[in-house]
Amino acid sequence: MSALGLTAVLGGCGLTGDSGEVTLKLVAADYGDSTANSSKKYWDALVKEYESEHDGVQVDVSVYSWSDVDRKVKELVDAGKAPDLAQIGAYADYADAGRLYKADDLVSIPVQADWIHQLSDAGEVDGVQYGMPFAASTRLLFYNKTLFTEAGITPPTTWEELATDAGALKAQGVKYPYALPLGPEEAQAETMQWLLSGGGGYTDTLGTYSIDSSENTGTFTWLKNDLVAKGLTGPVAPGKLDRADAFAAFANGDVGMLNGHPSLMKMAAKKGVKFGMVPMPGKNGESKLSMGVADWMTAFKENGHAEQIGDFLDFVYSEKNVLAFSREYDLLPVTNSASAVMSAAKQDADLKPFLDELPLSETYPVGETSWAQVSAAVKKGIGQAVASGGSPATVLSRLQATAAEAQTAE
C-alpha cells in the first residue's frame, strides 16, 4: 500500500520503443481508482512529450497497483534486473544496500532546492538523500456538518472538546462519534497523528525510537479512558476497525469525526455528505504538528544512465508536471513552486487546508531500515492498547522493545 493510504487496483504497461541510444525503465505505482484516471495515462502523456524533445532517449514505463508495485520492484532487483527508476512507497533498504544513486548525483540544484524541505529531509539515510519525494499528503480532522448542527456543537480544538463533542454525538444516536481506526490496515497513521497531538511521536529529536515515552503513554491512556471506554468510538473495536471501513462509514453519514486525507473529500461529496475540515486537536489546543506522508522516486545504479536519469527527473519535477499530477489525484505537490501555485488557485481551494498543514508536518521515520518492521508491529498490536483490559504502558513498552531491537540490527 502507498504511504498515502491509497489502494488503487489497476495495473498495466506504459510506452515502449526499440529505437534510440538509451532506454530508461521506470516502474511506477498507480494512483487512479479507475481505467479513466490510471497513472498510466499520466506517464504516457509525460513520456511522449519528453521523448519528442530528447532524441536518443526512450522511457519504458510499467504501472502496477499499490498492491503489487513494491513487490514487483523487489523481484526485479533480486533478479539482477533493477529498473533505472522506481516510484514506490519506500527506499531505505535499497539505499542501505548501496543500490541507489544519491539525489545529488542526478537532479539539478534548482530542482533539489524546490523540494519541500521536510520531504527532502525525510528522504535521507545518514544525512544523504536517496529518496526523492514524489507525492505527499497530510491529515485533517473531518467532521460531519449535519450531525454537528443536530447535536448543537462546534469543531473541537482540544482533546477535552473532542470528547465532549463525541459525547453529544453519541447522545444523538451517531453510530461512530469519533472513528478510531487502529486495525491492521493503516493503524500506524492514526497512531502517529495522535502521538503528535500529544506532544510525542515515534522517535525523539535524535531519531531514536521513543514509542513508550511518557507523552505517548499519556496519549493512549487518554484515548482508552476518555474515548474508547466511554463508548465514543463506535460499535467496532478500534483494533478491528480499518481506515478504509472508517472512511466508508463517514461517506455513509455514520461518523461524526475522524482523521482523513484528501481522497476522503471526493468520497464524502459523492455521497452528499456535508463536511468540514480542521487541524487535529491537541492535548491543550490545536496540534502544533500534523502527520505528513510521502511516496518516493528512487533511481538504481545497476544500469548506469545517471545523466539521462537526471535529465528526465528534472523534466518530471517541472512545475507543470508536478501540478498536473497533484491535481489529477488530489495529492499535495512536493515542490515549493507548485505548492505556491495551488495555494493561490481557486481550482485548488479544497486542498488549501491540507497545503497549509504541510509545512507543519512530520513524516514517518522512513529513513530507518527498521521502520517497515516497526510499522508492521504497530499495525498488529496497537489496538490492544485501548482494548478493554489492555494496558497502554505495556503495549507501548512492547513496541518500543521491538523498535529498539530492529534499530540496533540496522
31-75 confidence digits (pLDDT tens): 987 788 889 999 999 999 999 999 899 999 999 988 889 999 999
Residue 169 and residue 292 in contact, taking contact as beta carbons nearer than 8 Å: no
- % of the chain residues with pLDDT over 70: 95
One domain for residues 269 and 160: yes
Domain assignment present for 341 = yes
Mean pLDDT of 3-31: 63
Start-to-end CA distance of the chain, whole Å, equals: 23
Domain assignment present for 64 = yes
Alpha helices in 200-295 (DSSP H): 214-222, 243-251, 263-270
One domain for residues 160 and 46: no
One domain for residues 115 and 28: yes
Q: Is the dihedral of CA 247, 40, 14, 138 positive or negative?
A: negative
Residue position matching grid coordinates 492514526: 190
pTM of the model: 0.87
pLDDT attached to residue 16: 37
Residue 290, classed as helix, strand or coil, is strand
Domain assignment present for 4 = no
Domain assignment present for 5 = no
202-250 confidence digits (pLDDT tens): 999 888 999 999 999 999 999 999 999 999 999 999 999 999 999 999 9
Task: Identify which of 328, 366, 346 has the alpha carbon closest to the alpha carbon of residue 42.
Answer: 328
**Whole-number Å distance between alpha carbons of 111 and 118:** 15
Domain assignment present for 286 = no
One domain for residues 270 and 392: yes
- % of the chain residues with pLDDT over 90: 82
pLDDT attached to residue 287: 79
Residue 60, classed as helix, strand or coil, is strand
One domain for residues 256 and 321: no
Mean pLDDT of 363-372: 91
One domain for residues 147 and 191: yes
Domain that holds residue 168: 140-279+370-408
317-351 confidence digits (pLDDT tens): 999 999 999 999 989 999 999 999 999 999 999 99
**Whole-number Å distance between alpha carbons of 27 and 7:** 17
Average pLDDT of the residues of the chain: 92
- How many domains does the chain divide into? 2
86-103 confidence digits (pLDDT tens): 999 889 999 999 999 999
pLDDT attached to residue 37: 82
Residue 382 and residue 189 in contact, taking contact as beta carbons nearer than 8 Å: no
Residue 108: CB atoms within 10 Å: 13
Task: Identify which of 257, 297, 295 has the alpha carbon closest to the alpha carbon of residue 174.
Answer: 257
One domain for residues 121 and 53: yes
Domain assignment present for 2 = no
| CATH number of the domain where residue 378 is located | 3.40.190.10
Task: Identify which of 80, 47, 6, 117 has the alpha carbon closest to the alpha carbon of residue 303.
Answer: 80
One domain for residues 42 and 24: yes
Residue 182, classed as helix, strand or coil, is coil
Domain assignment present for 233 = yes
pLDDT attached to residue 44: 95
Q: Are strands 255-260 and 124-125 parallel, antiparallel or unpaired?
A: unpaired
One domain for residues 297 and 250: no
One domain for residues 228 and 337: no
Domain assignment present for 375 = yes
